[in-house]
Structures are given as structure tokens and as C-alpha cells.
Amino acid sequence: MTAEAVALGMEPATPAKYDRRHGRYRVLLSARLHSPLGASTAVLLDISEGGALVSCPAPIAQGTHVVLTRGHMQVHGRVARVEGRRLGVEFDAPIDSRLVADVVTPIARWAN
């Protein structure tokens, strides 16, 4: 966890069964997921510098390139795993921890 995250009081979600390079932060936020099939509403369930877990009503296959947007955040990635409506998105390149901190606001952290 970065010093910034500690200063903001952010607590990472426990990386239960997946090998993680970055600590994940549980959130429950609306987002948009853009894929070759079009744009869809989504719920951002967790986020880190390297990826995110989203819930999406539209079925999107593993390996599909997507763009996740939330506010001013726009991140390109690919669907690394599919578990029902939950999609594990691996970002093409890690995002800055300050961008994660912008997304993980004190209001969004109520679920942690």
C-alpha cells in the first residue's frame, strides 16, 4: 500500500485467491464499460493500479479489449476472467495510485 493510501485511510481488499501485484480497494460505484459490442453500464466492485472487478449486465468474453470509464478516469484493458456477470479487467498499463485514490473516495469506501 502506498503512503498516500495510508494517509487517506484507504484499506485494500484482501487478495483472496488470486496472485495480486497491487492492493485492491473495494468500492461500489457506477461506471461504463466500452467493448466492441458497444457501451454498457457497469458497477465497479474493486480497483487497483493494475485492474478492476466490474459487474456488467452485458456478456463480454474473456480476452475482449475494453475501456472502463468512471468520471475522468478512462482506462484501456482486457477481460482477464469472467465469473458470471463479474469481469476481472487487467489494465493494459498500470494506472497511477493518485488516480486510484481519486476513484476511491471516502464516500465510496463505506463498504470496506
The boundaries of the domain holding residue 106 are 3-111
Instruction: Report pLDDT for 1.
Output: 44
Q: Which residues contact 28 (CB under 8 A, 6 or more apart)?
A: 43, 44, 45, 108, 111
Instruction: Report pLDDT for 107.
Output: 57
Identify the CA nearest to 61 among candidates 88, 79, 74. Answer: 79
Whole-angstrom Cα distance, residue 39 to residue 107?
A: 26
How many structural domains does the chain have? Answer: 1
For the record, the C-alpha cell of 96 comes out as: 497511477
What is the full per-residue pLDDT of the chain (112 aa) written as tens digits? Answer: 444 444 444 444 444 444 456 577 899 999 999 999 999 999 999 999 999 999 999 889 999 999 999 988 999 999 999 999 999 999 999 999 888 888 887 555 555 5
Residue 100 sits in a domain whose CATH number is: 2.40.10.220
Taking the model in full, what pTM does it have? 0.75
Instruction: Report pLDDT for 110.
Output: 54
Instruction: Report pLDDT for 51.
Output: 96
Task: Give buried/exposed letters for 28-45 (b at 16+ CB in 10 A, else e).
Answer: ebebbbbbeeeebebbbb
DSSP string, 55-105: E-SS---TT-EEEEEETTEEEEEEEEEEETTEEEEEESSPPPHHHHHHHS-
One-letter identity of residue 55: S
Instruction: Report pLDDT for 106.
Output: 59
Instruction: Report pLDDT for 104.
Output: 82
Asked whether 90 and 62 are in contact (CB, 8 A), the reply is: no
